[in-house]
Amino acid sequence: MTAFWIVAPVVVVAALGLLFARKAVHAALSVAVVMVGLAVLYAAQGAPFLFAVQIIVYTGAIMMLFLFVLMLVGVESRESLTETIRGQRLAATVAGLGFGFVLVTAVGQTTLGPVTGLRSANEDGNVYGLAALMFGPYVVAMQLTAALLVTAVLGAMVLAHREALTPRRSQADIARDRMAEYATTGRHPGNPPTPGVFARHNAVDTPAPLPDGSPATDSVSPSIVARGQLRDGFDDDIHVVSRQLRREDDEDAGAGAVGRDGGPRRGSGAVGREGDE
């Protein structure tokens, strides 16, 4: 009884948190607290199998799956209050009241037999006693519970359904919009240039050069620019590379001139053929 009076108020408070929580993550955490509290109550009642199943299957697997889905997908409060199907709130209210009335009526007309102690109930083992009850006098209730779970899954699919307000855009539509934006604003329709264009400065803080030699601002992350970590000396590198390329072009031009004057030309086999003759 001590465990019951300690754990039961916590379970009730967590259940109320599930009903009145404004954020889906807080509601899911409240459900996890309820499941852990139920597992403690099962253990206090001498049902170790139900305790293990409640912790491993429900709290450890199903509840954590709910939390992962919420963290990956995300549910905003204004989306949860949006009625995706017309009249679903009224239908849910009527169905809930009807289910509550049927449940109260069934419980009120139930006749209970003599109370069986834990020792006699678990005489052949807790798992055997639980199976004898589930597939014996309560087999119909188990089948109705399975049907209720299937109905809950279908209801979740219906609630998650969203009507398509606009037709789905194709690749041709996206390309057409990009070209229209390029014509109006001048924004390039292709991917932004990649940073780190020089082999000796292959880093994300080095902007890529445009055809006129100026740095491309879109090639560096805005966070790097905001932190002031953009690499300096970019113009100096442009001049160094330009001088190097110009020097190589002059050397190639000089080698070509020597070849036209009668000397050996680069890349030709004239010398080899003369030696063979």
What tens-digit pLDDT sequence spans the chain (277 residues)? Answer: 788 888 889 999 998 988 888 777 788 888 888 989 998 988 888 888 888 888 888 877 777 777 777 776 665 545 555 666 677 778 888 888 888 888 888 777 766 666 666 777 777 777 887 888 888 888 888 888 889 889 888 887 877 776 667 788 888 888 888 888 888 888 777 776 665 554 445 567 777 777 776 777 777 777 777 877 777 655 556 667 778 788 888 888 877 665 555 544 444 444 434 444 4
Q: How far apart are CA 260 and CA 165, in angstroms?
A: 73
Q: How far apart are CA 269 and CA 247, in angstroms?
A: 26
Question: Among positive and negative, which fits the CA dihedral 255, 258, 263, 269?
Answer: positive
Residue 221 CB burial class (10 angstroms; 0-12, 13-18, ≥19): middle
DSSP state of 217: G
Q: How far apart are CA 57 and CA 226, in angstroms?
A: 48
What architecture is the 1-80 domain classified under in CATH? Answer: Up-down Bundle (1.20)
Backbone angles phi, psi at 241, to 5 degrees: -65, -35
Helix 24-44 to helix 2-20 angle (10° resolution) is 160
Give the pTM.
Answer: 0.42
Rounded to the nearest 10°, the torsion over CA 66, 67, 72, 74 is 90
Q: How far apart are CA 193 and CA 56, in angstroms?
A: 50
Q: How far apart are CA 197 and CA 207, in angstroms?
A: 7
Please name the residue that has the structure tokens 């253990």.
43
Please name the residue that has the structure tokens 């998650």.
160
* Structure tokens, 4: 């019951």
Please name the residue that has the structure tokens 């924004």.
187
